Amino acid sequence: MIDQEDEIARRERDTTKLFPRSPDRSTMKAYLVGGGIASLAAAAFLIRDGHLHGHNITIFEELDRLGGSLDASGSADKGYILRGGRMFEEHYRCTFDLFSSIPTLDGSQTVSQEILQWNEVVRTASKARLVRNGQAIDRPPFGLAERHILALERLAIEPETLLAATCIQDHFEASFFETNFWLMWCTTFAFQPWHSAVEFKRYLLRFVHMIDGFNELKGIMRTVFNQQDSLVRPLKAWLDEHGVRCVLDATVKRSMSGPVRRSR
Mind listing the pLDDT tens digit for each residue in 53-107? 999 999 999 999 999 989 877 788 988 887 777 788 999 999 999 999 999 999 9
> What DSSP string runs through 184-213?
HHHHHHT--TTSBHHHHHHHHHHHGGG-TT
By mean pLDDT, which of 70-84, 109-123, 136-150, 170-184 is the weakest? 70-84
- State residue 114's pLDDT score: 97
E-assigned strand segments in the chain: 30-33, 57-60, 72-75, 79-82, 130-132, 135-137, 245-247, 251-254, 260-263
Please report, as a single letter, which amino acid is at residue 241.
Answer: E
- Give the whole-number percent of the chain exceeding pLDDT 90: 68
| Better pLDDT: 255 or 178 | 178
- State residue 21's pLDDT score: 57
Name the 3-class secondary structure at 79. strand
Domain ranges of the chain: 4-86+225-263, 130-216
| Residue 194, pLDDT above cutoff 80 | yes
Handedness of CA 176, 180, 184, 190 (dihedral sign): positive
Question: What's the predicted TM-score (pTM) here?
Answer: 0.81
- State residue 127's pLDDT score: 79
- Give the whole-number percent of the chain exceeding pLDDT 70: 88
At 117, which helix (H) or strand (E)?
helix 111-121
Mean pLDDT of 201-206: 96
Q: Residue 231: which of 70, 109, 83, 68 has the closest Cα?
A: 70
CA distance 122 to 85: 18
Assess contact for 218 and 124: CB atoms under 8 A.
yes
- State residue 5's pLDDT score: 56
- State residue 209's pLDDT score: 93
| Better pLDDT: 149 or 85 | 149
> In Å, what is the CA distance from 244 to each residue of 52, 112, 141?
10, 22, 49
For the chain, the first-to-last Cα distance in angstroms comes to: 47
| Residue 149, pLDDT above cutoff 80 | yes
How sure is the predictor about 143, in pLDDT bands with cuts at 50, 70 and 90?
very high
E-assigned strand segments in 66-118: 72-75, 79-82
Give buried/exposed letters for 182-216 (b at 16+ CB in 10 A, else e).
bbbbbebeebeeeeebbebbeebeebeebeeebbb
Mean pLDDT of 168-192: 95
Mean pLDDT of 191-220: 94
Among 70-79, 134-143, 244-253, top mean pLDDT goes to 244-253
pLDDT averaged over every residue in the chain: 88
CATH node for 4-86+225-263: 3.50.50
CA distance 100 to 89: 15
- State residue 7's pLDDT score: 56
- State residue 163's pLDDT score: 96
| Residue 15, pLDDT above cutoff 60 | no
What contacts 143, CB < 8 A, 6 or more positions away? 178, 179, 180, 181
- Angle between helix axes 37-48 and 233-241 (nearest 10 degrees) is 40
